Amino acid sequence: MRYVSTRGRAGSVDFEGALLSGYARDGGLFMPQKIPVLDCATLKKWSTFSYPELVKQLCSIFISPELIPKEELNGTSGDTGSSAIESVRAEGNSDEIDEPIKELFADDDFSRRHNLMSLNSINWSRILVQIAHYFYAYFRCAPSVDATPLPVVEIVVPTGGGGNLTAGCLAQKMGLPIDLVAVVNNNDIVHRAIQHGDLSLSRNLKPTLASAMDIQEPYNMERIFWLFSGSDSNLVKSLMEDFYTTKTVKLPLELQKKLSGGLRSYSVSDEEIVRTMRCCWEENHYLLCPHTAVAVSYHYKHSSCHPSICRCCLAPASPVKFEDAVLKADLTLDISPEISMLKDKETRSCTLKRGDDWAKLLRHQIEAVTKQRNLTLS
Ligand SMILES: Cc1ncc(COP(=O)(O)O)c(C=O)c1O
């Protein structure tokens, strides 16, 4: 399997090339050159698989066996990740933090010298494993996999940067019979783009209770435009370059029609998030995180629509991480001793303060880490 850039101006790479990088050289994002379509028999077979087995099957499709043989596609555990982590915190929002990161990735020489890679949804590998959520959710929710055609399941995706939504679109392209609903918080650019072709920044980022979705520049829409435009990289390149320069783009009508035909979308306020968290607790004694509540509020609003279709809401986080929202909903958190213990642990990070040159500071930090690592290795 080879990977190409959504902007079509960078050569193709294998999985390793896509994994060990961030943006493609031309500023685009990596996508698989071919999206395999699974037949009904395969879907039926997969329906009996556990979640780890599904991840393995999917990875074996998108990672060539010459690179990693299927039998070696296993998870790893241990402290390799945590022991290598250097953390940087910034006094800004997701979009502001993305800027210096983009700048460093655009510096080819620096990026290669320090082996920069990103593990957020800029990176194909994160999208790849998220595809498994949809297969797993489908098989858990579909009333039967013996019917022909297979029944449709509606999957509601709390959406910020559009990474998880991209994975859903890919699962759909692979033949999984799902209807996708993208639900955003008050930062509604994805919703406006899908409904009205309006890909434009609103005046200010609105801080919401679902803070991980407070995003004004949903970079994965680039992948979604590529998918819905039939891999039209010229169109994607001009749209995205225009968007990142002017911050206001009107999508071509044809693309907008395809988007609104293929995806439903909604925007949810903080009041609805709080109301949903409370309601779900009262009805089920299930505590939602505010991001999950964004999706579930769609469910409460549409519980009487399509009664024949099963619906699944994706839950991207634990409420334990979002105590403020839980308190706003007048609910209480039952924090396990393992989690409570973390609060007393020592923390170590460098802070990017407002007014600082963040790209320069990040550069210095990365150089220091490389130097330290080389010293340790020598
Ligand atoms: C808790 C949580 N919810 C939702 C999202 C949505 O992101 P995306 O739309 O890119 O999948 C994120 C992204 O990191 C997240 O951390």
SS (H, E, C) the chain: CCEEECCCCCCCECHHHHHCCCCCCCCCCEEECCCCCCCHHHHHHHCCCCHHHHHHHHHHHHCCCCCCCHHHCCCCCCCHHHHCCCCEEECCCHHHHHHHHHHHHHCHHHHHHCCCCCCCCCCHHHHHHHHHHHHHHHHHHCCCCCCCCCCCEEEEEECCCCHHHHHHHHHHHCCCCEEEEEEECCCCHHHHHHHHCEEECCCCCCCCCCHHHCCCCCCCHHHHHHHHCCCCHHHHHHHHHHHHHHCEEECCHHHHHHHHHHEEEEECCHHHHHHHHHHHHHHHCCCCCHHHHHHHHHHHHCCCCCCCCEEEECCCCCHHHCHHHHHHCCCCCCCCHHHHHHHCCCCCCEEECCCCCHHHHHHHHHHHHHHHHHHHHC
Q: Which of 213, 219, 224, 314 to mutate to test the pocket of ligand 1 (most atoms within 8 A of CB)?
A: 213
Q: Is the CB of 208 inside a 6 Å radius of any atom of ligand 1?
A: no
**How far apart are the CA of 51 and the centre of ligand 1, in A?**
20
**How far apart are the CA of 221 and the centre of ligand 1, in A?**
13
Handedness of CA 255, 227, 115, 372 (dihedral sign): positive
Pair 278, 271: CB distance under 8 Å = no
- The two beta strands, 248-250 and 263-267, are unpaired
Q: Is the CB of 126 inside a 6 Å radius of any atom of ligand 1?
A: no
pLDDT in tens, 184-202: 999 999 999 999 999 999 9
Say what the pLDDT of residue 353 is: 94
Say what the pLDDT of residue 376 is: 81
Q: Which of 291, 318, 324 to mutate to test the pocket of ligand 1 (most atoms within 8 A of CB)?
A: 291
Pair 108, 102: CB distance under 8 Å = no
Residue 13 CB coordination number (10 Å): 19
Say what the pLDDT of residue 83 is: 54
* Token pair for 238: 């001009």
**Burial profile 233-252: b = 16 or more Cβ within 10 angstroms, e = fewer:** bebbbebbeebeeeeebebe
**How far apart are the CA of 377 and the centre of ligand 1, in A?**
36
Q: Which of 95, 164, 289 to mutate to test the pocket of ligand 1 (most atoms within 8 A of CB)?
A: 164
Atom 16 in ligand 1: which residue has the minimum CA distance? 212
pTM: 0.91
Q: Which atom of ligand 1 is nearest to the CA of 164?
A: 11
Say what the pLDDT of residue 77 is: 52
**How far apart are the CA of 329 and the centre of ligand 1, in A?**
21
Q: List domains and CATH numbers for the chain.
A: 3-75+94-377 (3.40.50.1100)
Say what the pLDDT of residue 72 is: 87
Pair 209, 322: CB distance under 8 Å = yes
**How far apart are the CA of 41 and the centre of ligand 1, in A?**
32
Q: Is the CB of 133 inside a 6 Å radius of any atom of ligand 1?
A: no
Burial class (CB in 10 A: 0-12, 13-18, 19+), 269: middle
Q: Is the CB of 28 inside a 6 Å radius of any atom of ligand 1?
A: no
Q: Which residue has the tokens 């991209």?
A: 166
Say what the pLDDT of residue 75 is: 65
Burial class (CB in 10 A: 0-12, 13-18, 19+), 112: exposed
Stretches where the chain sits below pLDDT 50 are 78-80
Say what the pLDDT of residue 274 is: 98
Q: Whole-angstrom Cα distance, residue 192 to residue 156?
A: 17
pLDDT in tens, 33-72: 999 999 999 999 999 999 999 999 999 999 999 999 888 8
Say what the pLDDT of residue 76 is: 58
Q: Whole-angstrom Cα distance, residue 235 to residue 229?
A: 8
Q: Whole-angstrom Cα distance, residue 193 to residue 182?
A: 11
Peptide bond into 100 cis (omega under 30): no
* Token pair for 186: 């008050």
Q: Is the CB of 276 inside a 6 Å radius of any atom of ligand 1?
A: no
**How far apart are the CA of 211 and the centre of ligand 1, in A?**
9
Pair 115, 373: CB distance under 8 Å = no
